[in-house]
Structure 1
Amino acid sequence: MRSLLSLDNSTASTNSTNHHHKWVGPIGHCVITVDVNGSGDFRSVQAAVDSVPANNRENVVIKISAGYYIEKVVVPVTKPYITFQGAGRDATIIEWHDRACDRGPNGQQLRTYRTASVTVFASYFSARNISFKNTAPAPLPGMQGWQAAAFRISGDKAYFSGCGFYGAQDTLCDDAGRHYFKECYIEGSIDFIFGNGRSMYKNCEIHSIATGFGSIAAQYRNTEEEKTGFAFVRCRVTGTGPLYVGRAMGQYARIVYSYTYFDDLVTHGGWDDWESTNIHTHNRNKTVLLGVYKCWGPGAEALKGIPSGQELDYNSAHRFLVKSFVNGRHWIAPSDS
């Protein structure tokens, strides 16, 4: 398997020659096996992560055999360069069931960000051919405290290929850092992709299980200086509605769909710019970017010609079409983009 870090190695080697900087990236390769039935090095994914030394400098591939791994997993910030490699999106599943209203060991409510079945704080994390689930029941609209994340990515330069993310409200916490999702399946009902990541979703299926109403993406960019935003490229939006395709939870939120197919599930108006709940909104229509470019399908018409959305031209859309949006040329191998 070609590492997504291979470009970093070659680039850094050149830089170290030219500028006399010692390369401190991953050196070497290590494989750890996990099998829930006991045939691997470990039975649990967390035990495998725990075995990786702090300040790891190797590319560590954790091969996770087919099966259900019912556990809560955390990859700490001190353990970069880890890959979770499953046996297939439908074969290898890590799942847990926390909700925001549940109480943690300290007796306090978990709140949304601590509900994730898998949380990654480390940089240079990747996952391939594996699914992450939060199995808490889906809330009815208006229910409080039922946010239940399947995955939280808070590390920089994270790559996902052929992965599944399953939940209802707040399925995927795209929290912080640069991230690239390729050919993934993401399922949920309300704000099921949310956070302030700088992320590209390419050739993904975004599947709504909303009842009553739902929303796909809630983006939190709050200042003009932040480079964050969600770029959806050649995706498919399927499932049930009515559905907002994006909500601007930050004053400068950016969500752009390009070349994306929409089922007939988009609510009239398509976008929610959060004006009704934010007191700093008098210039919001000038600072929020909720855009579409060459989208299609029966639901795409609901996104056109509305005040809170924008139909982009090529010059406006181009930066959201290419992996340089996440500086991908520097850390994603060409075969992986």
Structure 2
Amino acid sequence: MSLRKSVIQTMGLIWLLLLANVLHAEQVLLVVDAKGGGDYRSIQDAINSLPDTANEQRIIYIRNGNYKEKVFISKHKITLAGEDKHKTILSISLSRDVWRCESPDDWGVAALNLRGNDIVLENMSIINSYGFDNLNDTYIDCKTDTGIITKPIKRSSHQMALRSFTTTRLIVRNCILRAYGGDTVSPWNVEEGMYYFKDCLMEGGVDFYCPRGWAWAENCEFVAHGNVAAIWHDGSKYEDSKTVLVNCTFRGDDGFKLGRYHRDAQFYLLNCRFASNMADAPVYLNASNPQNTILWGHRVYFFNSHREGGDYSWHKDNLQQAKNAPTPAMITVAWTFAGKWNPLAILPVGDVISNKQIKPALSVVEGNKESGSKGKGQLDILVLQAENMLVYQRAVGGWPKAVDNVKVDYTKQLSEAEKKRILADSLHKDATIDNSATTKEIRFLVNAYKQTGNQRYLKAAEKGIRYCIKAQNAKGGWPQYYPDSSLYRAQITYNDNAMVNVLNVLQDIVEKKNGFDVVDASLIPQASMAVEKGVDCILKTQILENGKPTAWCAQYNPKTLQPEMARKFELVSLSGMESAGIVSFLIRLPNPTPAIKNAVDNAIQWFEAVKITGYVYQDIADANMPNGKDRVILPQTNAVLWARFYEIPNNKPFFTGRDSVRKYKLTEIEHERRVGYAWYGTWPEKILQKEYPAWKKKYFNQ
């Protein structure tokens, strides 16, 4: 045996020992590796080795590979955790019609067949590839079919990736479940089935997501084949049974329908998004012969769920029509399962495995560095902040900058009561990109993942990225808040570099820079498209003076792209600060187009034309002023400043208090606004001295 191979095997054994030490004493860890590097080569063999029941979850860790086998789980408290959801693949190719010609029931019809309770699936793909493998309909001899011996097998026939029978308390996180035909994901236990799906992609034909009983799906993507219904529910046993879908997206073939039901059902869709090619077809009762009796009426409820290109009338907000008229904040995981089960208490395997393998932390985000952090090392503070970010993240994917008018402090140790209160408010529409909110959290969580290996941090960051992509408006700009569009919040917002912060995160994803090489690769083309649209918006909003491009206003109308006033002291203007942020972003883009080059060159000329020389902007002590200070400009040789706001078209600096009246001297506005806003700065200085000359040399050979 070579020394290199021996070292690798030894390191592998050490890793497994560390992994095992992290787990609870009663937990079992088995490793499946198709190449022979684990305890078993087969998933089923690993399951078969375990006792039928246990007090703790038994974790089966599955290394990357394509496991072409049917898996049966009749035992309880089993966790299957893949190494990578794209590379750990359980697959079969089987039509249900073929199976039922050979078998009396569905046990064995799917890639994954479940009868056990307390089953957890994470980080893996579960695929029934029959419809992808067989592009044409076929015929088979089927003696068990009393109607026709020669039976047609359609490409779109039922093809189950997951089928459960008596299972309850099923958790599926960060998984891909694919088929071309119907009933891809079939968790069926109408009497007591409870199912929790999060961060999953589900794909298939008619009724491809079809839970019976109680189900919660959050941040999931549904991909429909054919012009048939995507989702289905059977809640016919108990009036309280329901399927809840929160922050989910739906896309598919042209004319796909959202959903249907055959028996009593209850649907709740909150903060969902529908592709423009979805049919104008409400969730409907499917005709049957004989027709099933519907005891509790048509129960399909929506909140803040919209279609690209414009809404249909049937998915408008109507929660008030549901029994007891629940508010969005009331519709939680606990509410869905009526307090009988808390899937959030079951930690992802990534947490259990990696917390003992955390590397040293790097940095602390802004906030009160003392609050809640005394006696803690950098690592503890990093984990504390990351965990708090998960608590504060809104269901839509973004973060608030303040709660109850108090700035969010991630270094504060939250009590359990505080956590519950914040989580219960996750549907609040206060997610924003203002003051670096959301982009700051995304960057921090990506770094926290790289330092700790905790998958929850990466998933939260990816959810935040998807929020940013979703928030982009039709003109390519970003509103200050999303989905809240009240007051000035829907305006395209360059103010405080809000839009530029988002674009820099997305460009980092495209270029795999600043730690973003770890995010889901499927986000790269989405980020690239969003950046392209954002740049187009920037170019279209550069303000012309006498036909010459100059700089940018801080905010614009989202439909007309005309400059607009925001707060009372933020009037229409050319902005020195925001324009600097925009130019710095344009300069970072590789292979700039002629339009980008022209925009940058003209903005640089404007910076040079409006700079103010011979002054500095600073705070001074003044006992006659509130808080004992004032903010002024003072003479200083060789100093350079730019004003925050310049008049259009004369480029004259101006200042505004809360009365919205233009003043031309800083001393003329009230003290509160004078010291509470950045009226001057050196924002373009670095661009003029370093970034622009280097950019010109690279792309103009000058």
Q: Same fold (TM over 0.5)?
A: yes
SS in 1 for 2:231: strand
1:204 aligns with 2:214: no
Bigger-Rg structure (1/2): 2
Give the structure 2 partner of residue 291 of structure 1. Answer: 301
In 2, the alpha carbon distance for the partners of 1:310 and 1:249 equals: 24
Once the two structures are TM-superposed, the CA of residue 143 in structure 1 deviates from its matched residue by: 6.5
Mapping of residues 209-228 of structure 1, within 5 Å: 210-211=225-226, 213-223=227-237, 225-228=238-241
Paired AA for residue 214 in structure 1: V
Q: Which structure shows the higher strand fraction?
A: 1
Give the structure 2 partner of residue 8 of structure 1. Answer: none
Give the structure 2 partner of residue 9 of structure 1. Answer: none
Mapping of residues 1-337 of structure 1, within 5 Å: 28-76=26-74, 79-103=75-99, 108-109=102-103, 114-137=108-131, 146-154=157-165, 155-168=167-180, 169-176=182-189, 177-208=193-224, 210-211=225-226, 213-223=227-237, 225-250=238-263, 252-275=264-287, 277-280=289-292, 287-298=297-308, 301-302=311-312, 304-305=313-314, 311-313=318-320, 315-316=325-326, 318=328, 321-324=331-334, 325-326=336-337, 327=339, 330-333=342-345
Q: Which has the higher contact order (CA 8 A, sep 6+)?
A: 1
SS in 2 for 1:190: coil
SS in 1 for 2:208: strand
Contact 1:27 1:58 in 2 (8 A): no
Give the structure 2 partner of residue 3 of structure 1. Answer: none
Paired AA for residue 286 in structure 2: W
In 1, the alpha carbon distance for the partners of 2:267 and 2:213 equals: 11
Give the structure 1 partner of residue 598 of structure 2. Answer: none
- Unaligned residue ranges in structure 1 (runs of 5+): 1-25
In 1, the alpha carbon distance for the partners of 2:168 and 2:117 equals: 5
The 3 A distance-change label for structure 1 pair 328 and 102 is same
SS in 2 for 1:115: coil
Q: Which structure shows the higher helix fraction?
A: 2
Contact 1:147 1:170 in 2 (8 A): yes
The more displaced of 320-329 and 38-47 is: 320-329
Once the two structures are TM-superposed, the CA of residue 88 in structure 1 deviates from its matched residue by: 1.6
TM-score by length of structure 1 reads 0.79
Once the two structures are TM-superposed, the CA of residue 258 in structure 1 deviates from its matched residue by: 0.9
Contact 2:303 2:328 in 1 (8 A): no
Contact 2:171 2:343 in 1 (8 A): no
The 3 A distance-change label for structure 1 pair 110 and 93 is farther
The 3 A distance-change label for structure 1 pair 334 and 133 is closer
Paired AA for residue 153 in structure 1: S
The more displaced of 197-206 and 148-157 is: 148-157
The 3 A distance-change label for structure 1 pair 234 and 110 is farther
CA RMSD of aligned residues (A): 3.0
Once the two structures are TM-superposed, the CA of residue 113 in structure 1 deviates from its matched residue by: 6.5
The 3 A distance-change label for structure 1 pair 50 and 113 is closer
Paired AA for residue 257 in structure 1: L
In 2, the alpha carbon distance for the partners of 1:113 and 1:230 equals: 24
Residues 50-92 of structure 1: CA distance to partner in whole angstroms, max 9, x if unpaired?
011122334210000001000000100xx21111110121010
The 3 A distance-change label for structure 1 pair 320 and 334 is farther
Contact 2:98 2:153 in 1 (8 A): no
The 3 A distance-change label for structure 1 pair 292 and 31 is same
Paired AA for residue 101 in structure 1: D
Give the structure 2 partner of residue 21 of structure 1. Answer: none
In 2, the alpha carbon distance for the partners of 1:109 and 1:335 equals: 38
Once the two structures are TM-superposed, the CA of residue 183 in structure 1 deviates from its matched residue by: 0.6
Residues 241-289 of structure 1: CA distance to partner in whole angstroms, max 9, x if unpaired?
3122111111x211221110111132122322114655245x67x5231
TM-score by length of structure 2 reads 0.39
SS in 2 for 1:36: coil
SS in 1 for 2:131: coil
In 2, the alpha carbon distance for the partners of 1:197 and 1:274 equals: 18
Paired AA for residue 164 in structure 1: I
In 2, the alpha carbon distance for the partners of 1:111 and 1:100 equals: 10
Once the two structures are TM-superposed, the CA of residue 44 in structure 1 deviates from its matched residue by: 0.7
In 2, the alpha carbon distance for the partners of 1:111 and 1:58 equals: 31
Contact 2:229 2:256 in 1 (8 A): yes
In 2, the alpha carbon distance for the partners of 1:184 and 1:214 equals: 21
Contact 2:169 2:341 in 1 (8 A): no
In 1, the alpha carbon distance for the partners of 2:118 and 2:103 equals: 30
SS in 2 for 1:241: coil
The 3 A distance-change label for structure 1 pair 299 and 70 is farther
Paired AA for residue 76 in structure 2: P
Contact 1:293 1:317 in 2 (8 A): no
Paired AA for residue 95 in structure 1: S
Contact 1:27 1:57 in 2 (8 A): no
